[in-house]
Structure 1
Amino acid sequence: MTEEQHADAPRYILNKDAQLHRLRRIEGQIRGLQRMVDSDTYCIDILTQVTAATKALEAVALGLLQDHLRHCLTDGASDPSVDLDAKLVEASTAIGRLMRA
């Protein structure tokens, strides 16, 4: 995506600062995991931290999905040019990917 296209992209992430903060915290968790592996930390302790990082990523994903549903489905319902069936399929596919992860 070019910078110009990015500037025109919809801004529907309601808690963007909070999401970015969470992602930075997760980035720190991942760096911590790398250090744990590098220093031969006990496997169960590493797995505990992997679980925490996974849950944190799931929380980010759910927040983004909620914002997407609010923007694309709720707001789209008032716009006759929006194909709500396509948006519902898109959202359902994303939910399915999250459930398989």
Structure 2
Amino acid sequence: MTTEPMESPVHEASCRKSHQTPEVKKNLATRLNRIEGQVRGIRGMIERDVYCDDVITQLAATQSALNSVARILLDGHLKGCVRDRLLEGDDEVLDELTVTIQKLMRK
């Protein structure tokens, strides 16, 4: 009896790849490393019973940094992926973009 690996149902969009330039990837990695450090710092602040307002200030800074990463990704997505798909006649990308923007607007 042979067992073949089961294929998991993967949404078509999940198979697509980003087309960020090496410079943008490096920029994003740097930003994400900084955010990772901020999150560790926040955890340490909580463990040390730092005043709540100071922790909240750091949380706001971290959220702002994450929003900056999202803006960079969205900009590249619009100028690359979305534009290319529209040029290929794929208007479905507009519905996908609407959902993406709605996700970013949730807070």
**Bin for the TM-score computed over the shorter chain:** 0.7 to 0.9
Mapped partners of 2:53, 2:20: distance in 1: 35
Q: After superposition, what is the alpha-carbon deviation per residue over 1:6-58, rounded to whole angstroms, capped at 9, x for unaligned?
A: xx953412311000100000000000000000000000000000000000001
TM-score by length of 1: 0.81
TM-score by length of 2: 0.77
User: Across the two proteins, how many residue pairs are aligned to each other?
Assistant: 91
Q: Which amino acid aligns with 1:100?
A: R
CA-based RMSD:
1.6
Note the residue ranges of structure 2 that are not aligned, 5 or more in a row: 1-14
Structure possessing the higher radius of gyration over alpha carbons: 2
Q: Percent identity?
A: 38
Equivalent of residue 85 in structure 2, options 73, 76, 84: 76
Equivalent of residue 87 in structure 1, options 84, 93, 105: 93
Note the residue ranges of structure 1 that are not aligned, 5 or more in a row: 1-7
